[in-house]
Amino acid sequence: MLILKKKTASLLAECIKEKFGEGLLSSDEIFTMLEYPPDTSMGDIALPCFRLSRTLRRSPVQIAEILAENVSCDEFSSVSALNGYLNFKVNHTAFASRVVGDVERLGDKYGSPMNGVGKKVVLDYSSPNVAKPFHIGHLGTTVIGHSLKLLHEFAGYDCFGINYLGDWGTQFGKLIVAYKLWGDKETIEKGGVDELVKLYVRINNEIKREEEESLLKDPDGKKSSPLADESRREFTALEHGDEKNLELWRWFVSVSLEEYQKTYKQLGIEFDSYKGESFYTDKMPAQVQKLRDMGLLEIDDGASIVNLDKWNMPVCLILKRDGSTLYPTRDIAAAVYRKNEYKFDKAIYVTSAQQSLHFAQWFKVVELMGYEWHDELVHVPYGTVSVNGMKLATRTGNVVLLKDLFAEAIERVAEITKEKHPDPKECLEIAEKVGVGAVVFYYLSNNRMRDINFMMEDALSFDGNTGPYVQYTYARTCSVLEKADVKGEMTDAELSDVEFELAKCLSVFPERINAALADYEPSIVTRYILDLAAAFNRFYHECKIVGCEDEKLRSSRIALTRAANQVLRTALHLICMQSPEKI
């Protein structure tokens, strides 16, 4: 469709030159004015002539009429004027042949803009905190991040996915203390992260209790807790390389990671690096020193800050009063390390929109430090998740673990699947793809900036605009192709509207991919998939494919089905979904 639009634009530019005079409008200008009519009965491509009215000094209606009479080409079956719009109807058969031919020729590269070749992108996403629950709140960064990675790979970029694990900080002091007091190796090896979380929650409660007690004893004094003090000591020991604590820490990390891997595996996600916060601890002092040397640091109330008044932002804290580092410090050090190590052309950070200010601040600091690559840093924020209308809160227990969510989805799907697929192994395989896919699809349907209210019933439903619907459609294309007697290729058989609409939908895929990349917006792909699935299903219902008696038409229809199959598979992959051949 893109090519046709370009061709239309140059055709129009020439015609305008001829009828209205030299140098009025370039082909590129006209191209941006072309659009798709809301109703296909009007046409397939349209040029609104209102803006032309001033430069061409005629009424829009007249312009449309003049152009309609003077533009023609064999790609169009008709060119007509209507209310100031110039409408082009595309020749069905020729157009479909070309589109299907493109898909056939390019295969799983069809739709790729290929503008990332030779460039490198690092993506920072998912990044759960070790020994804390991996819950539904992490779904956004995980699937948006991975989808963006896949999209960039599709565009030819060399991609590097980083899971910036929250694997450092005072919580490990607490965990070490809790483990020494109440922990038990076997229980944790068996229970995994859940057991670590239990220990963490328990010690936090204990600390809170101790602090309250201390206040009761001495209402005017500072609250104190021996356990908290002990935790700080243990973390300091860890920082200083205490071998015993290091060993425990490594173990906590590996236990957590092992469990996260299971979820990642269900999603088909692999990371290229798991370098977490701990990795960058020794890389911060150099950056702090650089800030100091450049005179960017100010001491305010004992803390070291970078003043950002000029940019209408609050100060960026670099060092606490006690000299310890903060989140921005680590992010800056990590960015510098990654630039040197991976030589990225773009670094993408996928986090909740709550962190938008934080990113704006440290991006600015990086700029002030004179790193010329500051404009290669991109923050991709997304809206807050709530579940069934309630905010996520560990305290109130409104926390849904990702593994539980997926398990629930898989179980529900299996209920239906087992009727069609009695073999338990096959049933489970399908249920896993469809169950996980349902959740992912539901999440990625939304514009990422919108706050999402995760309604369990909707996320796990199978009707309408859902993951199961599109996967089912994909399986349907597979089933048709399996039954087809010939490979199928486009012929000169006359095509009806539904067939043409399907071809049109296929032709628009590259444009949607471009839009998704430009906006860092996977939901554009998700919505495209729905359009394509709907177009295919209508085609499927109205047209007999393998049973079609006209040999030429059958061949064309099979070819169309194969093209739909290819594009659905490509698109599903780009939003982290599997393409089951049977459902």
Piece in contact with RNA (CB under 7 A), picked from 77-85, 91-99, 233-241, 571-579: 77-85
CB within 8 Å of 78: residues ≥ 6 apart: 43, 88, 89
Stretch 85-124: interaction string toward RNA, x if CB under 7 A: x-x-------------------------------------
Q: Which of the 8 DSSP states describes residue 484? A: -
Interacting residues with RNA between 302 and 361 (CB under 7 A): 302-303, 305, 312, 314-315, 317, 320-322, 326-327, 353-358
Exactly one of 42, 94, 237, 407 binds RNA (CB under 7 A); that residue is 42
- Contact call for residues 537 and 479 (beta carbons, < 8 A): no
Shortest Cβ 156–RNA spacing (Å): 24
Q: Which of 6, 132, 358, 418 is catalytic?
A: 132
Considering the rule CB under 7 A, would residue 204 count as an interface residue with RNA?
no
Active site residue 135: yes
Specify the pairing of strand 346-352 against strand 377-382: parallel
Q: Is 132 a catalytic residue?
A: yes
Separation between Cα atoms, residue 443 and residue 510, nearest integer Å: 23
**Residue 301, interface with RNA (CB under 7 A)?**
yes
Query: In the beta sheet, which residues pair with residue 162?
Result: 124, 273
Piece of the chain touching RNA by CB under 7 A; list 2-10, 236-244, 397-405, 519-527: 519-527
Report if residue 508 touches RNA, rule: CB under 7 A: no
Of 132 and 202, the one with the shorter C-beta distance to RNA is: 132
- Choosing from 5, 17, 27, 37, the residue that interacts with RNA (CB under 7 A) is 37
Nearest to 555 by CA among 498, 485, 480: 485
Contacting range for RNA; rule: CB under 7 A; set: 198-206, 474-482, 500-508, 563-571: 474-482
Does 1 help bind RNA (rule: CB under 7 A)?
Answer: no
> Which one among 38, 107, 397, 422 touches RNA, defined by CB under 7 A?
38
Instruction: Tell me how far apart the alpha carbons of residues 383 and 140 are, in angstroms, rounded to a whole number.
Output: 9
- From 199-207, 213-221, 237-245, 416-424, span contacting RNA (CB under 7 A): 416-424
* DSSP run (H or E) holding 382: strand 377-382
Specify whether the CB–CB gap between 193 and 404 falls below 8 A. no
How many of the chain's residues bind RNA (CB under 7 A)? 94
**Ranges within 532-551 binding RNA (CB under 7 A):** 533-534, 537-538, 540-547
268 binds RNA (CB under 7 A): no
Shortest Cβ distance from residue 543 to RNA (Å)? 6
160 contacts 123 by C-beta, under 8 angstroms: yes
Determine if 579 is a binding residue for RNA (CB under 7 A). Answer: no
Q: For RNA, which residue of 379, 476, 512, 573 counts as binding (CB under 7 A)?
A: 476
Look up residue 128 and give its DSSP letter.
Answer: P
Q: What is the amino acid identity at position 241?
A: G
User: In the set 263, 523, 565, 566, which binds RNA (CB under 7 A)?
Assistant: 523
Site for RNA in 431-450 (CB under 7 A): 434, 445-447, 449-450
480 binds RNA (CB under 7 A): yes
Structure tokens at 117: 């070749």
Task: Tell me: does residue 463 bind RNA (CB under 7 A).
Answer: yes
Taking CB under 7 A as the binding criterion, the range among 41-49, 117-125, 135-143, 501-509 that sits at the site for RNA is 41-49
Q: Which two tokens stand for residue 454?
A: 């995760």
Does an H or E element contain 371, and which?
Answer: none
Instruction: Using the CB atoms, write b or e for 534-567: b if 16+ within 10 Å.
Output: bbbbebbeebebbebeeeebbbbbbbbbbbbbbb
Q: Which of 479, 489, 493, 514 binds RNA (CB under 7 A)?
A: 479
Region of 28-36, 226-234, 248-256, 398-406 interacting with RNA (CB under 7 A): 28-36
Using CB under 7 A as the binding rule, whether residue 455 contacts RNA is answered as yes
SS3 content of the chain, % helix, strand, coil (to 5): 60, 10, 30
CB of 465 to RNA, least distance (A): 4
Q: Rounded to the nearest whole angstrom, what is the least distance from the CB of residue 345 to RNA in the complex?
A: 25
Considering the rule CB under 7 A, would residue 126 count as an interface residue with RNA?
A: no
Task: Tell me the β-bridge partners of 393.
Answer: 398
Contacts of 536 (CB under 8 A, 6+ apart): 473, 476, 477, 502, 561, 564, 568
CA dihedral 406, 412, 417, 422 (to 10 degrees): 100
DSSP 226-273: HHHHHHHHHHHHHHTT-HHHHHHHHHHHHHHHHHHHHHHHHHT---SB
Q: Can you tell me which of 48, 101, 113, 192 binds RNA, judged by CB under 7 A?
A: 48
Contact code string over 156-195 relative to RNA, x by CB under 7 A: ----------x--x--------------------------
Q: Which CB atom, from 188 or from 434, has the smaller least distance to RNA? A: 434
Q: Which is nearer to RNA, 169 or 268 (CB)?
A: 169
CB of 167 to RNA, least distance (A): 10
> What is the per-residue burial (b if ≥16 Cβ within 10 Å, else e) of 82-118?
eebbbbbbbbbbbbbbbbbebbbeeeeebbbbeebee
Residue 583 touching RNA (CB under 7 A): yes
- Residue 535 to residue 556: CA distance in whole angstroms: 16
Catalytic residues: 132, 135, 138
